[in-house]
Structure 1
Amino acid sequence: MLHNRRSFMLGAAGTAVGIALSSVAPRPAHAQNVRLRAMWWGSNDRSKRTLSVAKLFQEKNPDIAIVGETLSGDSYWTKLATQMAGRSVADIFQLEPTTISDYSKRGACLALDPFVPSALNIDAFGKDVLKLTTVDEKLWGIGLGLNSFALMYDADAFAKAGITPPGAETTWAQYADIAVEMTKAAGKKNYWGGPYGARYQYVFDAWLRQRGSSLYTDSGLGFTVDEAKEWFAYWEDLRKRGGTVGADIQTLDQNTIETNGLALGHAAISMAYSNQLVGYQLLAKSKLGITMLPRGKKGGPSGHYYRPALIWSIGATTKHGEDAAKFINFFVNDVDAGKILGVERGVPMSPAVRKAILPSLNPTETETVNYINALADQVGSYPSPAPLGSTEFDQRVLRPIADELAFERISVADAATRLVSEGKSTIKAG
């Protein structure tokens, strides 16, 4: 079920007033001197964890109030665009790897370098990790955890069907056969083997990297019309064979857990990010499994790389940059905060937090950590920052074109040509 906007406020006493309501908790006589707005997208579970960490932060910093808002689906980016236009971006807001370069170049973010190390103590993260949120030699955000792409599947459904689920060495050709076989074996109405992945930018990214290409280069798009044609042709062939969810189901997907075919009970397989296994498992009645995305050929490159799962950035117009940096520092370095957050936003960047939380992780969280560790000899180098306009490319070019294709409104050739031409126009226009 798609959740609506949720907001909360924590008073100095740290009393949570609930996710569905906006209110003010009782304050002591020395009311807060600073009030910070925080905004993010995500599941109910993420909101509860964030709320609890904010409460803990305020218990230790009674002079700072955290007012939070969480949105779902594309409404987050609409809200952020409105805030940018009104020069009222939240003091602390969430981004991810494909958007941090875009939004930092658009002036939404405050450079964090002046707060290191006075408010942000991130030396233990390592220089390579900090590069993941560095654009044009400035630090624009702090990664909240490591993740990578992943394929998740309903382990119980595969066991019941007597079919071996995809694994680390599964090729795209083998995956297609598995998805078709799973659809047939399940024999249920409105239930298929897997997603119509043509509209997933991150899966296309891995597909291209497996073939020595890339989604973006430093100057724009990194792929050709022929490569786009091969990509779309694969998914169209699989759809017609019955291996993907129907177009009407796929278009419901807003890149959130709640709107994905696996979570909605329409597919046995999902393609997502590894940290989302926690959220998927909370919604799923069955035991879920996690593995790598299929690869181009057996023994070939995986196309995977480590990435910051999600990122906290500070709004460019904030009047409380130091305090916002202090909250982010608490979020990523405090051991008790780490125990609350677990790995829902990725495996912690801080070695100390990572070590501290391991004993308290549940089986699903442990599986997430094991997955990230297993990728160690499979990941490639982190790609160049996405160019300006990449967010629009994903939301207004790739997804709509893939949807038109799935509804058979355009041909594969037309879809590929439009993806490149409209993509180049969007990136330039950015």
Structure 2
Amino acid sequence: MLLNRRGFMIGAAGAATGIALGSRSALAAESVQLRAMWWGSNDRSKRTLAVAKLFEEKNPDIRIVGESLSGDGYWTKLATQMAGRAIADIFQLEPSTISDYSKRGACMALDPFISSALHVDAFGKDVLNLTTVDGKLWGVGLGLNSFALFYDADAFAKAGITPPGVDTTWEEYADIAIEMTKAAGKKNVWGGPYGARYAYVFDAWLRQRGSSLYTDTGLGFRVEEAKEWYAYWEELRKRGGTVGADIQTLDQNTIDTNCLALGYSAMGMAYSNQMVGYQLIMKSKLGIGMLPRAEKGGPSGHYYRPALIWSIGASTEHGEAAAKFINFFVNDVEAGKILGVERGVPMSPTVREAILPSLNPTETETVKYINALKDQVGGYPSPAPLGSTEFDQRVLRPIADELAFERISIDEAATRLVDEGKATVRAG
């Protein structure tokens, strides 16, 4: 199996700890081997492999072979595995993709393992509903999170500018972004990202206005709404409040490619659990807040979501063992201490309570943020329909890039987003 650079590095890290590669005792030849695949930062990989090692120590008859890939590379590899009916035994999904991939037959329903290998009753019915599609459980959430706006707290303090707050509007955010660009006074450093290519930010924007990114049957927005969205970001880009198109296109929806992490902007938009990964690679102190809203006192557009999800591959021959590993991942207290809140605030009340005293200041901030959203979040949206992953990767992002490079107009971008979106997204 060929690995990209990151995949090879993780494999090598696994070899050093006796997880991913290398020979083991004669017993290993008779043990169950499970392939686990995920995307994320090096920090996520280290934590995941450490938990896999701990699991192996307590379950010597099961071996975990781990592989981490880049964001876009992950989905390409998963598509290849689906075509060849060779999906990893355990693989990572997210809220916007679990409905899509479960309906495509990539996942194994987990209901048969509940109460035997998988113990999730303590999570609560509402939490389990987050990963339930058509009445069946297709994955287990690894933590709660929501959208977030990260900012370079040191840069804001130096500039004497107040960062966005709970009730900051999009209009006010634009002014702040422009001021931060001016305050930086450097070439290739701007106030914030060109957020037109972020599906989750567009989703929050639409929810603030009584609409949505998706419905049960397809797209949930119209051309006029898309025009308003694109017009906002184009005006802000031309006023100097966003990074240039050449910088924004580097973003592969991973921490290490985000313009904030790369030092090109003072603000970035991401998911709350990613604050841990961002702070690890940033020298400046990081702050966290909510996304801007349409009007003061209006809906925030935020909702609680499972940060990431473990699912079991439909083609696995070891469903029970895979469920056992997932159960350990989400319920073992020692595993929880290793994982912290990098994949979100733990779903298990027992694990959540146990890890709180050991959290570092950044991790504690993410927990505070999730708790502070309690009175700000709306209801969880309907599961994303089929084609939502392709819509994000092959429609929304490329069209936003063409617009930022001024290759198409706002009207053309909005019309294409809806037309191509309707051709891509459909009911299951």
TM-score bracket for this pair, using the shorter chain length: over 0.9
Distance in structure 2 (CA, Å) of the matches to 1:186 and 1:219: 45
Distance change (3 Å), C-alpha of 1:35 and 1:225: same
In the alignment, is the contact (CA less than 8 A) between 1:7 and 1:19 conserved in 2?
Answer: no
Taking the aligned partners of 1:242 and 1:323, their CA distance within structure 2 comes to 53
1:140 to 119, 135, 138: 138
Alpha-carbon separation, structure 2, partners of 1:24 and 1:341:
24
Q: Take 1:9 and 1:162, find their aligned partners in 2: how far apart are those partners?
A: 45
State the secondary structure of the residue aligned to 2:161. coil
Distance 1:287 1:357, change over 3 A: same
> How far apart are residue 134 of structure 1 and its match?
0.4
Give the one of 383, 388, 391 matched to 2:381. Answer: 383
Quick one: which amino acid aligns to residue 196 of structure 1?
Y
Q: How many residues align?
A: 425
1:391-412 CA deviation, whole Å, 9 max, x = no partner?
0000000000000000000000
Q: Deviations over 1:194-240 (max 9, x none)?
A: 00000000000000000000000011000010000000000000000
What is the Cα-based RMSD across aligned positions, in Å? Answer: 1.7
Q: Work out the CA distance in 2 between the residues paired with 1:19 and 1:164.
A: 46
Specify which structure has the higher proportion of helix. 2
Q: Spell out the pairing of 1:122-201 with structure 2 (5 A cutoff).
A: 122-201=120-199
Runs of 4+ in 1 over 6 A off after TM superposition: none
Task: Please name the residue that 2:284 is paired with.
Answer: 286
| 1:322 maps to 2:320 | yes
Q: Is the 8 A contact 1:37 1:66 kept in 2?
A: yes
Query: What is the CA–CA distance in structure 2 between the aligned matches of 1:32 and 1:403, rounded to whole Å?
Result: 51
Aligned-partner residue type, residue 37 of structure 1: R
Asked if 2 retains the 8 angstrom alpha-carbon contact of 1:7 and 1:21, the reply is no
| Alpha-carbon distance in structure 1 between the residues aligned to 2:226 and 2:187 | 31
Contact 2:154 2:285 in 1 (8 A): yes
**Number of the residue aligned with 2:305:** 307
* Contact 1:35-1:64 within 8 A present in 2 as well: yes
Secondary structure, aligned partner of 2:65:
strand
1:361-381 deviation line (CA, Å, top 9, x unaligned): 000000000000000000000
Cα shift at 1:27: 1.9
Work out whether 1:4 is the aligned partner of 2:32.
no
Are the equivalent residues in 2 in contact too, given 1:333–1:353 (CA < 8 A)? yes
Q: For residues 42-53 of structure 1, what are the structure 2 equivalents within 5 Å?
A: 42-53=40-51
Contact 1:8 1:23 in 2 (8 A): no
Question: Structure 1: 5+ residue runs without aligned partners?
Answer: none
Percent of counterpart pairs with the same letter?
80
Pairing 1:262–2:260 present: yes
The TM-score with structure 2 as length reference comes to 0.97
Match of 1:23 in 2: 21
Q: Does the residue aligned with 1:221 lie in a helix, a strand or coil? A: coil
**Per the alignment, in what secondary structure is the counterpart of residue 269 of structure 2?**
strand
Is the 1:104–1:140 contact (alpha carbons within 8 Å) kept by the matching residues of 2?
yes
Shift of 1:117: 1.1
In structure 2, the residue matched to 1:398 is: 396
Q: CA deviation at 1:25?
A: 4.5
CA distance in 1, matches of 2:116, 2:413: 50
Contact 1:32/1:64 (8 A) holds in 2: no
SS in 1 for 2:425: helix
Could you say what secondary structure the match of 1:395 adopts? helix
Give ranges in structure 2 of 5+ residues lacking alignment. none
Find the aligned partners of 2:119 and 2:19 in 1 and give their Cα distance.
33
User: CA offset at residue 19 of structure 1?
Assistant: 8.6
Compute the TM-score of the two structures, normalised by the length of structure 1. 0.96
Q: CA deviation at 1:318?
A: 0.2
Is residue 39 of structure 1 aligned with residue 37 of structure 2? yes
Q: Aligned pair in 2 of structure 1 residues 99, 422: CA closer, same or farther (>3 Å)?
A: same
Partner deviation per Cα, 1:228-264 (whole Å, 9 max, x = no partner): 0000000000000000000000000000000000010
